[in-house]
Structure 1
Amino acid sequence: MPTSPPVHHRQLKAEHRAPAVIAILVALALYVTLPSAFYPPLRYVVAGIAFVMLVPAVILNPRRMNRETRWSKYLSAGQAGLLAAANLFALVELIQQLVTGSSTDGPRLLLAALQVWLTQIIAYALIFWELDRGGPVTRRHAERRSLPHADFRFPQDEDADADAVKEVASGSSEKTGWVASYFDYFYFSLTNSMAFSPTDTMPLTTRAKALMALESASGFILLGLVIARAVSLLH
């Protein structure tokens, strides 16, 4: 059976800006609307800085991710890191309140836990999206042979194996030039936060494993305390 040669020169459409922008705005809304006990002035400052950082990135690529400069790459990665760090600080405060808060605070804290958890998923998805294979612009526009080393291995990266059926192999990254979009990293972040381990996507680098470990550990601690809190509310 004839097989298609690997794709080196790719004609991929640039990734759309909207999914990442919507995710950032949702995360900022979740973060800003945390209960008043979560240091409102700090939250407003962080959200304001993150929003200001978003503006030049959108101006540079208003619809599709076609252009990238050194400052825009640092700005986008810094924004994702800021959101993750701020949410981690909120997680620490949430843990303290879950452990020491009164029973009347239960429903409010459970809602806050959901907000922190969702923000965490979005923030880590943004980090993964910005880091893997040079980021969203490089992944789509650079020749595959010149792409930076991958931080993550997706199922499509393996679908060209000899054992794969034709309809699976024909959609592999080797045959089609496929690369992940923001939603792929969001799904990956969601499953990592729920399963506390890799599912269909595997980490390949130390930094990828460290980030996944931090997200999984944070989600595990949060889930354990939320379950304990919910049980205490039922008694």
Structure 2
Amino acid sequence: MNMRHTRRWPASLAVVAVLVLQLLIPTQISTFPRWVMPALGALLLLPLVWMNPFHLRRDEPWLRWVELALLALLVLANAIYLAELIFYLNSGAANNGLVLVKSAALIWATNVVAFGVWYWEVDRGGPFARAPEHGRTEERADLLFPQMTVDLPGWNKWIPGFTDYLFVAFTAATAFSPTDTMPLTARVKVLMAIQSAIALLTVAVVAARAVNVL
């Protein structure tokens, strides 16, 4: 049986990566100390790692609320940085193309990783609900993966892992729309719409202007 879904550490590592990326945001577009958001994120991540450092073994309802609060904070911080970057872009002081390119790249990468964790957390009630060994009632699917629509040998018991959700986030940020995996529920459609909007603004508006400045 595929047990990838029971691992906690890939999602934790992804969150740490997001916090590090936010520390690298150029000071030109940050109106508050860069350590504030990563510090808040680290405080929320700490109990999650403490309770389930490597695998999802202890299932407590409050842990999921902490996880959702952490993910909301990451997306909010990224949206704030994007808004500040757009403001900086229109302020007339944006004469450093490298700063704009670096900022856009960091915001785009953060967008991918943060929403990858979001999809991992919400699909079918979360990783605990998807794990058959926990005996929880699995909710309806939020995402329709290609492996769920075909009858191929060796794939009948397939369960998506974190890498699969990260790939969904990557393709959504690249194509600005769903690709091979379709959103089924309203909550995931909203998440994907927000992610695509952030990616579109970052790539099509900010990065395009940055190239002209170079």
TM-score, scaled relative to structure 1? 0.83
Between the aligned partners of 2:135 and 2:153, the Cα distance in structure 1 is 17
Between the aligned partners of 2:2 and 2:23, the Cα distance in structure 1 is 40
Q: Does 1:40 align with 2:29?
A: no
Shift of 1:213: 1.0
Contact 1:14/1:66 (CA < 8 Å) preserved in 2? no
Q: 2:73 is matched with which residue?
A: 82
Q: Secondary structure at the match of 2:25?
A: coil
1:131-170 correspondence to structure 2 within 5 Å: 131-141=122-132, 146-160=137-151, 169-170=152-153
Q: Secondary structure at the match of 1:80?
A: helix
Between the aligned partners of 1:84 and 1:114, the Cα distance in structure 2 is 15
Q: Say which of 103, 110, 133 aligns to 1:119.
A: 110
Q: Does 1:171 align with 2:154?
A: yes
Contact 1:15/1:65 (CA < 8 Å) preserved in 2? yes
Shift of 1:143: 7.9
TM-score, scaled relative to structure 2? 0.91
Shift of 1:191: 0.4
Range with bigger deviation, 222-231 or 125-134: 222-231
1:66-105 correspondence to structure 2 within 5 Å: 66-102=57-93, 104-105=95-96
Q: Secondary structure at the match of 1:64?
A: coil
Q: Say which of 178, 181, 190 aligns to 2:170.
A: 190
Shift of 1:105: 2.0
Contact 1:134/1:147 (CA < 8 Å) preserved in 2? yes
Between the aligned partners of 1:143 and 1:187, the Cα distance in structure 2 is 26
Between the aligned partners of 1:230 and 1:14, the Cα distance in structure 2 is 39
Alignment length, in residue pairs?
A: 213
Between the aligned partners of 1:185 and 1:77, the Cα distance in structure 2 is 16
Between the aligned partners of 1:210 and 1:56, the Cα distance in structure 2 is 28
**RMSD across aligned positions (CA):** 2.1
Q: 1:4 is matched with which residue?
A: none
Shift of 1:102: 3.5
Between the aligned partners of 2:161 and 2:92, the Cα distance in structure 1 is 40
Range with bigger deviation, 215-224 or 197-206: 215-224
Q: Say which of 61, 82, 98 aligns to 1:107.
A: 98
**Unpaired runs of at least 5, structure 1:** 1-9, 161-168
Report which of the two structures shows the higher radius of gyration computed on alpha carbons.
Answer: 1
Range with bigger deviation, 21-30 or 223-232: 223-232
1:199-214 correspondence to structure 2 within 5 Å: 199-214=179-194
Range with bigger deviation, 184-193 or 209-218: 209-218
Range with bigger deviation, 222-231 or 59-68: 222-231
Q: Say which of 58, 64, 79 aligns to 2:49.
A: 58
**Unpaired runs of at least 5, structure 2:** none
Supply the AA of the counterpart residue of 2:168.
F
CA 1:56–1:96: 2 relative to 1, 3 Å: same
Between the aligned partners of 1:105 and 1:11, the Cα distance in structure 2 is 48
CA 1:226–1:11: 2 relative to 1, 3 Å: closer
Between the aligned partners of 1:44 and 1:126, the Cα distance in structure 2 is 21
CA 1:129–1:100: 2 relative to 1, 3 Å: same
Percent identity, aligned pairs only? 36
CA 1:122–1:11: 2 relative to 1, 3 Å: closer
